[in-house]
């Protein structure tokens, strides 16, 4: 998908709705009331009707677009702007590009798209050799937090995030040169620095057959209970460019990207921004397909999303 192809394929609201309908049909419509998967398309009403209980599903309901008022065309334009550019776009800039009056609706649409991206990545766990580390992202503090702000590691200005990367060691048999190839990444906001947060994060995001590499930290003591092997190394300048090479590259890229576009991020929205960053990083070789993939993520039929 390029900007020219986009303009050709999606010139108006109708073409976008039609595409969105087909994207949902490819994934299968599930009846909210009875769970039946067989539906008829009611052309005049722009709705599907369940063949068992006659319950009707509109093209937006059950997707990230449910209860959203913006036209599908604007959603498609937003997805285009978010995927065509490597780094992304701020809500303020998108509002300007779309010539839309209200900032809030653009802002909320973009967060829903980021949520859809996160839901998609949550469907896959990391497997194999995994680098694990934590990073601290600066977030805007609320007025209340500012009054009892603590310094250092516990400071509310620094949000703790678990960073995980699949990292496969490679060795050139001719020269003996060792390197590591990265595959998929995950970044998860942690509520605190305690080990139970780490345990839960490892359990939810990493396959139990994996081998995890991390530095020596008290909160990592139980990681070995959730994976095949846990290997620790004392954190040095050397480990950040060898054992934990890819998590560190990802951390600095994520910080640069987020800071470059958004300036100040509220703690409770950080996960959404990280979702977008990881989603695009994990699909860095998708090229033109990225747009379609995000449409699939947004059109995914999951009633729980909007509850
Ligand atoms: Zn039904």
- Over range 204-227, report the average pLDDT: 95
- Over range 69-95, report the average pLDDT: 93
Lowest mean pLDDT across 28-42, 170-184, 207-221: 170-184
CA 236 remoteness from chain centre: 30
Confirm if 50 and 38 have CB atoms less than 8 A apart.
yes
Measured in Å, residue 47 CA sits from the centre of ligand 1 at: 13
Measured in Å, residue 118 CA sits from the centre of ligand 1 at: 28
Measured in Å, residue 126 CA sits from the centre of ligand 1 at: 36
**pTM for the structure as a whole:** 0.90
pLDDT reading at 98 higher than 50 = yes
Measured in Å, residue 122 CA sits from the centre of ligand 1 at: 28
Lowest mean pLDDT across 29-33, 57-61, 154-158, 290-294: 154-158
pLDDT reading at 155 higher than 70 = no
Residue 154 has a pLDDT of 47
Measured in Å, residue 36 CA sits from the centre of ligand 1 at: 5
- Over range 29-57, report the average pLDDT: 95
Measured in Å, residue 21 CA sits from the centre of ligand 1 at: 18
pLDDT-based confidence at residue 303 (cuts at 50, 70, 90):
low
pLDDT reading at 120 higher than 90 = yes
Residue 176 has a pLDDT of 82
Measured in Å, residue 305 CA sits from the centre of ligand 1 at: 19
Percentage of residues of the chain with pLDDT beyond 70 = 93
pLDDT in tens, 282-295: 999 988 899 999 99
Q: How many helices (H) and strands (E) does the chain have?
A: 11, 8
Measured in Å, residue 239 CA sits from the centre of ligand 1 at: 56
Q: Is 238 helix (H, G, I), strand (E, B) or coil?
A: helix
Task: Quote the CA–CA distance of 66 and 57 in Å, as a whole number.
Answer: 11
pLDDT-based confidence at residue 145 (cuts at 50, 70, 90):
low
Measured in Å, residue 53 CA sits from the centre of ligand 1 at: 4
Residue 307 has a pLDDT of 35
Tokens of 144: 């209340």
Task: Quote the CA–CA distance of 102 and 91 in Å, as a whole number.
Answer: 11
Measured in Å, residue 282 CA sits from the centre of ligand 1 at: 36
Measured in Å, residue 38 CA sits from the centre of ligand 1 at: 8
- Over range 95-105, report the average pLDDT: 95
Looking at per-residue pLDDT, the higher value among 288 and 249 belongs to 249
Residue 79 has a pLDDT of 96
Measured in Å, residue 17 CA sits from the centre of ligand 1 at: 23
Measured in Å, residue 13 CA sits from the centre of ligand 1 at: 28
Bridge partners, 239 (sequence order): none
Beta strands in the chain (DSSP E): 39-42, 47-50, 56-58, 129-138, 158-171, 178-189, 211-215, 229-233
Residue 147 has a pLDDT of 64
Count of CA atoms in the C-beta half-sphere (13 A) of 263? 3
Question: Which residue in this structure is represented by tokens 């994990």?
Answer: 282
pLDDT in tens, 59-71: 999 999 998 999 9
Measured in Å, residue 25 CA sits from the centre of ligand 1 at: 16
Measured in Å, residue 32 CA sits from the centre of ligand 1 at: 7
Measured in Å, residue 37 CA sits from the centre of ligand 1 at: 8
Q: Closest by alpha carbon to 253, among 226, 291, 280, 233? A: 280
pLDDT-based confidence at residue 306 (cuts at 50, 70, 90):
very low
pLDDT-based confidence at residue 126 (cuts at 50, 70, 90):
very high
Measured in Å, residue 298 CA sits from the centre of ligand 1 at: 22
Residue 238 Ramachandran class (φ > 0 left, ψ -120 to 50 alpha, else beta): alpha
Q: Mean pLDDT of all residues in the chain?
A: 90
Measured in Å, residue 39 CA sits from the centre of ligand 1 at: 8
Measured in Å, residue 115 CA sits from the centre of ligand 1 at: 27
Residue 305 has a pLDDT of 40
- Over range 23-29, report the average pLDDT: 94
- Over range 260-283, report the average pLDDT: 91
Measured in Å, residue 52 CA sits from the centre of ligand 1 at: 5
pLDDT-based confidence at residue 33 (cuts at 50, 70, 90):
very high
Measured in Å, residue 24 CA sits from the centre of ligand 1 at: 16
């Amino acid at each position: 998908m390029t900007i020219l192809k986009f303009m050709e394929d999606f010139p108006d609201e109708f073409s976008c709705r039609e595409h969105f309908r087909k994207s949902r049909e490819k994934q299968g419509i599930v009846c909210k009331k009875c769970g039946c998967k067989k539906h008829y398309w009611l052309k005049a009403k722009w709705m599907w009707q369940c063949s068992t209980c006659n319950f009707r599903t509109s093209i937006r309901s059950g997707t990230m677009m449910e209860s959203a008022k913006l036209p599908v065309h604007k959603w498609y334009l937003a997805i285009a702007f978010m995927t065509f550019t490597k780094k992304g776009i701020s809500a303020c800039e998108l509002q300007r590009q779309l010539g839309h009056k209200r900032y809030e609706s653009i802002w909320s649409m973009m967060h829903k798209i980021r949520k859809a991206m996160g839901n998609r990545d949550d469907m896959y766990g990391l497997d194999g050799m995994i680098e694990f580390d934590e990073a601290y992202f600066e977030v805007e503090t609320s007025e209340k937090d500012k009054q009892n702000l603590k310094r250092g590691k516990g400071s509310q200005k620094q949000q703790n995030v678990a960073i995980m990367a699949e990292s496969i060691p490679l060795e050139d048999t001719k020269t003996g040169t060792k390197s590591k190839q990265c595959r998929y990444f995950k970044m998860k906001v942690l509520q605190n620095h305690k080990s139970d947060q780490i345990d839960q994060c490892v359990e939810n995001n990493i396959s139990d057959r994996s081998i995890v590499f991390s530095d020596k930290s008290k909160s990592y003591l139980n990681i070995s209970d959730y994976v095949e092997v846990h290997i620790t190394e004392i954190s040095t300048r050397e480990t950040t460019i060898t054992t934990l090479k890819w998590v560190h590259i990802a951390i600095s890229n994520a910080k640069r990207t987020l800071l470059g576009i958004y300036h100040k991020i509220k703690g409770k929205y950080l996960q959404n921004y990280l979702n977008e960053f990881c989603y695009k990083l994990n699909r860095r070789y998708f090229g033109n397909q990225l747009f379609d993939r995000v449409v699939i993520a947004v059109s995914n039929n999951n009633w729980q999303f909007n509850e």
